[in-house]
Chains A and B, each alone.
Chain A
Amino acid sequence: MAELTFTDLSKTFGGTPALDAINAQIASGEFVALLGPSGCGKTTLLRLTAGFEHPSAGEIRIGGETVAGAGRFVSPEDREIGIVFQSYALWPHKSVFDNVAYPLEVRRIPRAARQARVAEALSLTGLGAFADRMPSQLSGGQRQRVALARCLVFEPRAVLLDEPLANLDLALRASMQDVFRMFHRRTGATMLYVTHDQSEALALADRVAVMKAGKIRQFAAPEILYREPADCFVAGFVGDGAVVSARITGRADHAGLMLNVLGQDVVSRSADPEPSHVSIRPESITLADDAPLRARVTSCTYLGGRFRLELDTAGETLVAFSCQRAAIGETVGVRLHDLWAFRDPEGDVVLQKALADA
């Protein structure tokens, strides 16, 4: 297992930047998710790590060894990195056993040792009974497991996964998430997992790098991303809730800053002395009839166990959870608490632009 380090890593395709000066370090044995909308550069970062693309600038190091940058380029076959493709990329002319055995064959491992290691990898992924099948005879989930076993069998320094669940149905995704988690626990491999699905990223990863337009916007543990987003994009992309602008009204005390949010004075947690926005998660909203902030219910969706309400107040849309159904158009009182405030100058620009367009 090895750590991965990206230093000022950039990649342009025909003049269009895909990655813009990425700096990040992934510890040995860590499970990291790259999360972002399509076109944000997450797959490019993965392919650069695997060695399928050459960086335009910057450096990639694996376990202290420079594999790309500074005049060096180690080709994919010499990087000892496993990759699980979205399409699984199982070789259709090889049986499950031969698919998994191929990395060892390439490494000229003797037959007996090879068979033992393949059998071990197959049993770890629950494929022991399928060794003689051809890939075309397997279901999507089973193919995914074969791809994983093929990765696992040669004990790579890191495992890269490119949207591995995108082609599976919802029920299978949940069970494959368990497989990945088990795989990570058993092997302790450094894993880099690309996804556009935030629930996957939050559920699986030790840390999540949220990417947009070739940049990492925030790189933190899932609960930090949720509770303490760094900017408007992260706050909006990760988790449910609303982002509204805020104005500082009082000095900070040990509990936080006094901010004016939607006309109310609220104490907010913040890392910045002059925040511009607050993230309001559904958990931060209590519905109370006597609350001074009034909001109109615009939608009500049953989630099983609770209702998700969308509330309109002063042109902003808030999201709240409620135990009871609410009628559309009904007016409720809203009390805010435990908000997170951050500074995002671009967020204002975005808001102003939206207002100007409206």
Chain B
Amino acid sequence: MSKAVPASGGSRSLDRLLPLLLLPVALIALGPVLRLLLEGIGFGSGFTTDHLTSVLARPSTATALRHSLITAGGGTLLSVLIGAGFAFLVALSDIRGKGALVFCLMIPMMIPPQITALAWMQMAGPSSTILKMLGLAPPLGSPQPLHSAGGIILLLGIQHASLVFLTLRAGLRMIPAELVEAARMSGAGPLRVWAQTVLPLSMPSLIAGGAMAFVTALGNFGIPAMLGIPAGYATLPTLIYQRLVGMGPSVLSEVAVLSLLIGAVAICGVLLSRLVLKRQGFGLVGLSGAPLALSLGRARLPVEIAMWVFIFAILALPLLALLATSLIPAYGVPLTFDTATFNAWIEVLFVQPVTRRAYANSLFLAITAAAILLAICLPLAWLMERRAYRVSKLLDALIDLPYALPGVVLSIACILTFINLPFTDLTLYGTIWIILMAYLARFFVVMLRPIQASIAQLDPAMEEAAASVGARLGRRLRDIVLPLAAPSAAAGAILVFLTAVNELTVSALLWSSGTETLGVVIYNLEDSGETVMASALAMSIVCLIIALMGLVQAGARRFPKGVIPWQS
């Protein structure tokens, strides 16, 4: 016989303590965004809309806004074309090697934009090592064709095509196979089925994917920074960067308005897509599941070849060009068996203090962010799933915000929040901790969602069984929930690590001497003409990313559905 424990005992108190977790989470994740909103209306220096009107009336603002809309819009169009083309072919047709194709299409999404830009720049222009090898390089002095609005649009389109692809493929999988079969029974050929049945039904996911691509392209900093700044073509994120780097924290309120402007445009884009979706919506009845496999007939081989050639052109060629540049002794020297050298690799990995420090900083930031988020998200996800308070539901709805907002917006928000810690004279600005804080806020949801997914799939009886045999809440979380959610938590941690280790947008605004991240150093090396070293560093990061992606892929079967972003 056991002694009865009154209501205040053991697990009850832990049950009461856990909700306190919501407070720091809400503060770190949502505090900065709230602070930014307040800044727009002149918080701190009296409520005023002076900043708002003066900044918005400036011609540079209008130009940057126009450039942002042009590049993001054009990029989105390209993303939709590429992503939808691949999604329809992969989800509907009988082409072979779909897994490998999808994995390759996802790599551009995981490679940081500044590396994409750097790689593409090595493929074009007069100094391109790979063009020189082939004897195709344009004469010296001719312009780099990618340093233009067109170049930015091209790279944005490729970078975000996978977003459209993933959303659309998920949508296509929801279409009941019976609908297609019914259309075919009515005598429609594959092309007619696609145009009259599949396309209208998949329109909502196509629009949703397009909206995601637009918002992401709007906030992209790496590509317009690498391609636009040399050409004097400023978008809103690069304008903010240039103002803040040039003038320092004195222009904070001004750039706050600019970042609010980006946020507003992004939200308009999302709302517009929601509006269209609402008018397009229809319920799908029937069993999804049986994957569609429309036969391409004799066209299959040519289509397969075309897809792989395309993948080769957008993925392998730029990376080969990057590799080629990283192996030459000095920029401009052609690559031959005699000139090839690993000097730049040795230099960036072992000699240069800046790059070594950047590796150390980025690894520290990525590992720390992943570890902290892991420790917070596991109990938090459990709390949200098993104890649905009103507060936790609200947090659940808002937690996407810091990740969905463009990185520049969050950076400005973080600077505003942490430049003076409330109630103290301390500042986090200029230290590595402000970057960490921003990473925690930004990647929260990247870690939370996979863990939430796996806890939601966990039979509550597992925990009840443990309770009935005497295990208290702490033990249950440790012995039952943790091991069962571990694979997803690991996947989430690797994703956070992957995204954080390459991050540029946030750290570009938050770094200072000594706290450079890999993204910042690649950008700075390229900016100061050290293209060869930048290429070597970028290439080493690409290898790290692909290895980590492969690791996650190898464990794919152990994760619940929807955890791995490139396997929806």
Question: Which A residues are closer than 8 A to B by beta carbons?
Answer: 2, 50-52, 63, 65-67, 72-83, 85-87, 89-93, 102-103, 106-107, 147, 150-151, 154, 157
CB pair B5–A150 under 8 Å, yes or no, is: no
> Which chain B positions have C-beta within 8 A of A52?
464, 467
* Whole-angstrom distance between the Cβ of B169 and the nearest chain A Cβ: 30
CB pair B471–A81 under 8 Å, yes or no, is: no
Question: In the docked arrangement, what's the CA distance between A150 and B468, Å?
Answer: 10
Interface centre among B468, B472, B480 (most CB of A within 10 A): B468
Complex A-B: 15 CB contacts under 8 Å: A2-B1, A67-B4, A74-B4, A75-B5, A76-B464, A77-B470, A79-B2, A79-B468, A81-B468, A83-B468, A85-B465, A89-B464, A91-B480, A106-B470, A106-B475
> Which chain A positions have C-beta within 8 A of B98?
none
> Which chain A positions have C-beta within 8 A of B6?
72, 74
> Which chain A positions have C-beta within 8 A of B471?
77, 102, 106
Residue B479 at the A interface, CB < 8 A? yes
Interface segment among B7-15, B112-120, B418-426: the answer is: B7-15
Question: In the docked arrangement, what's the CA distance between A75 and B4, Å?
Answer: 9
Residue B459 at the A interface, CB < 8 A? yes
- List CB contacts (< 8 Å) of B1-54 with chain A: 1-7, 9-12
Known A-B contacts A63-B1, A65-B4, A91-B480; A76 and B467 likewise in contact (beta carbons under 8 Å) = yes
Smallest CB-CB separation from A73: which chain B residue? B7
> Which chain A positions have C-beta within 8 A of B4?
65-67, 72, 74, 78
Residue B483 at the A interface, CB < 8 A? yes
Smallest CB-CB separation from A82: which chain B residue? B468
Smallest CB-CB separation from B486: which chain A residue? A93
* Whole-angstrom distance between the Cβ of B457 and the nearest chain A Cβ: 12
CB pair B466–A75 under 8 Å, yes or no, is: no
* Whole-angstrom distance between the Cβ of A348 and the nearest chain B Cβ: 42
Chain B contact patch, size range: 20 to 34
Question: In the docked arrangement, what's the CA distance between A219 and B81, Å?
Answer: 70
> Which chain B positions have C-beta within 8 A of A65?
4
> Which chain B positions have C-beta within 8 A of A150?
465, 469
Question: In the docked arrangement, what's the CA distance between A77 and B469, Å?
Answer: 6
Smallest CB-CB separation from B5: which chain A residue? A78
Residue B484 at the A interface, CB < 8 A? yes
CB pair A93–B1 under 8 Å, yes or no, is: no
Residue B461 at the A interface, CB < 8 A? yes
Interface centre among B5, B10, B469, B471 (most CB of A within 10 A): B469
> Which chain A positions have C-beta within 8 A of B480?
91
Question: Which B residues are closer than 8 A to A by beta carbons?
Answer: 1-7, 9-12, 459, 461-462, 464-472, 475, 479-480, 483-484
Smallest CB-CB separation from B484: which chain A residue? A93
CB pair B5–A76 under 8 Å, yes or no, is: no
> Which chain B positions have C-beta within 8 A of A83?
464-465, 468
> Which chain B positions have C-beta within 8 A of A107?
470
* Whole-angstrom distance between the Cβ of B488 and the nearest chain A Cβ: 13
Question: In the docked arrangement, what's the CA distance between A71 and B471, Å?
Answer: 23
Smallest CB-CB separation from A150: which chain B residue? B469
CB pair B469–A103 under 8 Å, yes or no, is: yes
Smallest CB-CB separation from A65: which chain B residue? B4
Nearest first, the 4 A-B pairs at minimum CB distance are A103-B469, A89-B461, A89-B465, A76-B467
Question: In the docked arrangement, what's the CA distance between A87 and B459, Å?
Answer: 9
Smallest CB-CB separation from A159: which chain B residue? B468
CB pair B469–A50 under 8 Å, yes or no, is: no
CB pair B484–A102 under 8 Å, yes or no, is: no
CB pair B470–A91 under 8 Å, yes or no, is: no
CB pair B462–A91 under 8 Å, yes or no, is: yes
| Contacts A80-B470, A91-B479, A106-B470 supplied; 16 other A-B pairs, CB < 8 Å | A52-B464, A65-B4, A67-B4, A72-B7, A76-B467, A77-B11, A78-B4, A78-B5, A83-B468, A85-B464, A85-B465, A89-B459, A102-B479, A150-B465, A150-B469, A157-B1
* Whole-angstrom distance between the Cβ of B388 and the nearest chain A Cβ: 14
Smallest CB-CB separation from B467: which chain A residue? A76
CB pair B461–A87 under 8 Å, yes or no, is: yes
Question: In the docked arrangement, what's the CA distance between A344 and B43, Å?
Answer: 75
Question: In the docked arrangement, what's the CA distance between A150 and B459, Å?
Answer: 18
* Whole-angstrom distance between the Cβ of B402 and the nearest chain A Cβ: 33
Cβ contact of B466, chosen from A51, A86, A102, A151, cutoff 8 A: A102
> Which chain A positions have C-beta within 8 A of B469?
77, 82, 102-103, 106, 150-151, 154
Smallest CB-CB separation from B6: which chain A residue? A72
> Which chain A positions have C-beta within 8 A of B467?
51-52, 75-77
Known A-B contacts A74-B4, A102-B479; A89 and B470 likewise in contact (beta carbons under 8 Å) = no
Known A-B contacts A75-B9, A102-B479; A92 and B484 likewise in contact (beta carbons under 8 Å) = yes
* Whole-angstrom distance between the Cβ of A152 and the nearest chain B Cβ: 11
* Whole-angstrom distance between the Cβ of A113 and the nearest chain B Cβ: 16
Question: In the docked arrangement, what's the CA distance between A297 and B310, Å?
Answer: 76
Interface centre among A50, A75, A85, A157 (most CB of B within 10 A): A75
Question: In the docked arrangement, what's the CA distance between A114 and B4, Å?
Answer: 24
> Which chain A positions have C-beta within 8 A of B479?
91, 102
CB pair B5–A74 under 8 Å, yes or no, is: yes
> Which chain B positions have C-beta within 8 A of A87?
459, 461
CB pair A77–B461 under 8 Å, yes or no, is: no
Smallest CB-CB separation from B3: which chain A residue? A78
Question: In the docked arrangement, what's the CA distance between A102 and B469, Å?
Answer: 8
* Whole-angstrom distance between the Cβ of A140 and the nearest chain B Cβ: 15
Cβ contact of B1, chosen from A74, A80, A92, cutoff 8 A: A80
Interface centre among B3, B12, B464 (most CB of A within 10 A): B464
> Which chain A positions have C-beta within 8 A of B2?
78-80
> Which chain B positions have C-beta within 8 A of A86?
461
> Which chain B positions have C-beta within 8 A of A157?
1
> Which chain B positions have C-beta within 8 A of A91?
462, 465-466, 479-480, 484
> Which chain B positions have C-beta within 8 A of A103?
469-470
> Which chain B positions have C-beta within 8 A of A50?
464, 468
* Whole-angstrom distance between the Cβ of B418 and the nearest chain A Cβ: 40
CB pair B12–A75 under 8 Å, yes or no, is: yes
Smallest CB-CB separation from A71: which chain B residue? B7
CB pair A77–B12 under 8 Å, yes or no, is: no
Smallest CB-CB separation from B459: which chain A residue? A87
Question: In the docked arrangement, what's the CA distance between A73 and B15, Å?
Answer: 14
> Which chain A positions have C-beta within 8 A of B461?
85-87, 89
* Whole-angstrom distance between the Cβ of B322 and the nearest chain A Cβ: 42
> Which chain A positions have C-beta within 8 A of B10?
75, 77-78
